[in-house]
Amino acid sequence: MQRWKIIIEYDGGPFVGWQRQDNGASVQQRLEEAAQVLAGCPTPVQGAGRTDSGVHALGQIAHLDIEKPLRADQVRDALNYHLRPDPITVLEAEPVPEDFHARFSATGRVYLYRILNRRPPPALDTGKVWHNQRPLDADLMHEAAQSLVGHHDFTSFRSSECQADSAVKTLDKVRVRRAGEEIHVDVAARSFLHNQVRIIVGTLELVGRGKWSRRQLEKALQAKDRSAAGPTAPPEGLYLVSVQYA
C-alpha cells in the first residue's frame, strides 16, 4: 500500500465545501469518486483543511492510499481524467511515508483574500473576488491588522458554529496590500478557527473605509464576543494558498 500526497486547486463555487455533506457535491466527494475508479475500491481522501462553500484553493493538500503500483504522473493524470468536467485539478502527486497525514502533519497554512475595490463589477472574476465599491485605504487596514498578529483569544473572530475546543490561536502574519484595483489580505498561521479569516477581512474592511479605528479593532479582539467584531466577508474572495510541512 502506497500513501500519496496530492496538491489540488479548485474553484469552490459549485461545491458545498471541501467536506462530504448530505446537501450537495463536495470537493472531497468528487476526489474520492475519482480515486475509487483509479484504485478499484473505496478510497478515502483526507484533506489538510475544510474550506467552506464558495471558498477556493490554489494549494490544498490531501493524502490517499492506493495498493496498486503506480507512478506519480499516473496518479495525477488518472485523477484529473476522472474529475472532468469539475473545476478540480490535481497539480502534483508524490509518494510519502505511511505516517504522513495531510491535516495532522501540517505546520502552517496560508490564505489569501481578494477584494476587487472599484466601481465597475468584475466580468472575468465573478465568484472569485469580493466586489467592494467603497474606497478602501489598504495602509490603514494593514496597520490595524498588526494588532491581530500573535497569540490571542479569537472568540470575536470565529463563527458561532465553530467546533474548536479553544479560540486561542497564533497568527504569524496578517498583511494587507494594494495590487492595482484589488486589495489582497494575506494571513498565515498553523491553524485557523471556522470563518476566522473572513471575519478578520470583514472587520478590516470597516477600518479601510474609515468607519473603525485600529483601537476599535483592538477592543473587538479584547471583547471575546463575536458580536463585537465586524461582519463575515463573502466566501468567494478567499483562497487556501498553501499548506506547510516540517
What CATH number is given to the structural domain containing 232?
Answer: 3.30.70.660
Determine, yes or no, domain membership for 102. Answer: no
User: Residue 65 pLDDT > 90, yes or no?
Assistant: yes
Does 184 score more than 90 pLDDT?
yes
Q: Which domain holds residue 60?
A: 2-96
pLDDT in tens, 130-170: 999 999 999 999 999 999 999 999 999 999 889 899 999 99
Mark whether 219 and 137 lie in a shared domain.
yes
C-alpha distance from residue 121 to each of 117, 132, 133, 202 (Å): 9, 9, 8, 19
Q: What would the mean pLDDT of 64-85 be, rounded to a whole number?
A: 97
Both 66 and 178 in a single domain? no
Q: Are residues 91 and 120 in the same domain?
A: no
Same domain, 146 and 206: yes
Note the pLDDT tens digit of each residue in 185-236.
999 999 999 999 999 999 999 999 999 999 999 999 999 999 999 999 999 9
Q: Cis peptide leading into 85, omega within 30 of 0?
A: yes
147 domain-assigned = yes
SS3 for the chain is CEEEEEEEEECCCCCCECCCECCECCHHHHHHHHHHHHHCCCCCCEECCCCECCCEEEEEEEEEEECCCCCHHHHHHHHHHHHCCCCEEEEEEEEECCCCCCCCCEEEEEEEEEEECCCCCCCCCCCCCEECCCCCCHHHHHHHHHHHCEEEECHHHCCCCCCCCCCEEEEEEEEEEEECCEEEEEEEECCCCCCHHHHHHHHHHHHHCCCCCHHHHHHHHHHCCHHHCCCCCCHHHEEEEEEEEC
Q: In which residue are the cell numbers 462553500 written?
A: 53
Local confidence band at 22 (pLDDT 50, 70, 90 cut-offs): confident
Q: Tell me, what's the pLDDT at 6?
A: 98
41 lies in the same domain as 122? no
The answer to whether position 86 is within a domain reads yes
Domain count, the chain: 2
Q: Residue 32 pLDDT > 90, yes or no?
A: yes
142 lies in the same domain as 175: yes
Please give the pLDDT value at position 136.
98
Asked if 134 and 195 sit in the same domain, the reply is: yes
User: Is residue 27, in this structure, part of any structural domain at all?
Assistant: yes
Last residue of a domain, one of 28, 61, 96: 96
Task: Let me know whether 231 and 125 are in one domain.
Answer: yes
Same domain, 42 and 70: yes
Q: Is residue 181 part of a domain?
A: yes
Assigned domain for 18 exists: yes
User: What tens digit of pLDDT does each residue of 95-134 get?
Assistant: 999 999 999 999 999 999 999 999 999 999 999 999 999 9
CA-based torsion, 28, 30, 32, 38: positive or negative: negative
Q: Are residues 83 and 113 in the same domain?
A: no
What digits encode the pLDDT tens for the residues 81-98?
A: 999 999 999 999 999 999
Identify whether 86 is a catalytic site residue: no
Does residue 101 lie within any of the structural domains?
A: no
Q: Quote the mean pLDDT of the chain.
A: 97
Of these residues, 11, 52, 77, 125, which one is catalytic?
A: 52
